Chain A
Amino acid sequence: MSLKAFHVVFVTVATLLAMGVGVWCLRIRESGYVPIGMVSIGVAVALVVYGVWFLRKMKGVSYL
């Protein structure tokens, strides 16, 4: 597995974590956690956009 493939796995897991942290923080409803939750969901969206951009940019590089 090349760094390209591992990076795709990493970005996928990081996106899931960011979404999970976002939901966790918003469900707690304590002051201080709501902004973190919103930032985290924003990070999840940014990671999806970045992931698509990365795959397009590295099209010619092998997954092996």
Chain B
Amino acid sequence: MASAHSIDDVIPYTVAPREDTGLNNVKLGIWLFLASEVMLFGALFAGYLLLRVGATDWPEGRTYLSVPWAFTNTLVLISSSVTMVMAWASLIRKDLGKYRLWMGLTVLGGFGFLIIKYIEYSSKFHHGYFPETNTFLAIYFTLTALHGLHVISGMAVNGYLLGPGTKMWQTEPQRFTNRVEAAGLFWHFVDLVWIFLFPILYLL
């Protein structure tokens, strides 16, 4: 009996936008979540700032960190944001084949980022640089590890939407497109955080 109705009849605004706000549930939900993420990273950025201005001596990031690796990682994440938006655009054009290609490349971009991060971390540990070594490395490991966890989370969601989650396309294509858009908003947020992390940790 439930199958005779659309999902919007059971829970309103799941697919169609609410008239007064112009938003559906998934978009409102993801933006509320991203607002909480801004507060989380904002607090850590503020912590970094206070530690830095309060320190008598603060090292230049490049004395400990590899700018070429971080630059490569920045390019990887920018590219993966482009492929993510292309995946969403493919669904708008009703092309599931192209969606699979672009989403696959997005997940690969996430893997690439993590591999480079692993190389960077291994090099630090090999040279005896740990979070307890000094305040700079403590905040570096805290911020980048938290960001890395977000990359892994984004890859898990994108991987689901590339694999089993694709089934929804057959029954509710608009709802699936909205889900991919929400995942894309999260992925862009994670990439945007890195765009702020790269200069403050590696260059300044």
Contact = CB atoms under 8 A, between A and B. Distances in A.
Asked if chains A and B come from one complex, the reply is: yes
Interface of A: 1-4, 6-7, 9-10, 13-14, 17, 20-21, 24-25, 32-33, 36, 39-40, 43, 47, 50, 54, 57-58, 61, 64
Contact of A21 (B31, B71, B188, B191): B71
Contacts of B82: 50
Interface in B150-204: 181, 184-185, 188-189, 191-192, 195, 198-199, 203
Contact of A7 (B71, B75, B81): B81
Contacts of B203: 21, 24
Contact of A10 (B71, B75, B188, B199): B188
B22 interface: yes
Interface stretch (B3-11, B48-56, B85-93): B85-93
A62 to B, nearest CB: 8
Query: B interface, by DSSP: helix, strand, loop or mixed?
Result: helix
A33 B203 CA distance: 12
Contact of B85 (A3, A21, A36): A3
Q: Closest 5 interchain pairs by CB?
A: A3-B184, A7-B85, A3-B181, A64-B22, A14-B78
Contacts of A33: 67
B188 A6 contact: yes
Contacts of B71: 21, 36, 39-40
A14 B203 CA distance: 15
B199 A20 contact: yes
Interface centre among B17, B78, B88 (most CB of A within 10 A): B78
Nearest to B180: A3
B199 A21 contact: yes
A19 to B, nearest CB: 12
Interface in B1-39: 17, 22-23, 27, 31
Nearest to A7: B85
Interface residues of B, number: 28
A10 B67 contact: no
30 contacts: A2-B181, A3-B88, A3-B184, A3-B188, A4-B85, A7-B85, A7-B184, A9-B192, A10-B191, A13-B192, A13-B195, A14-B78, A14-B195, A17-B74, A17-B198, A17-B199, A20-B199, A21-B71, A21-B74, A21-B198, A36-B67, A36-B68, A36-B71, A39-B71, A43-B78, A50-B82, A54-B85, A61-B89, A64-B22, A64-B23
B68 A32 contact: yes
Contacts of A47: 78
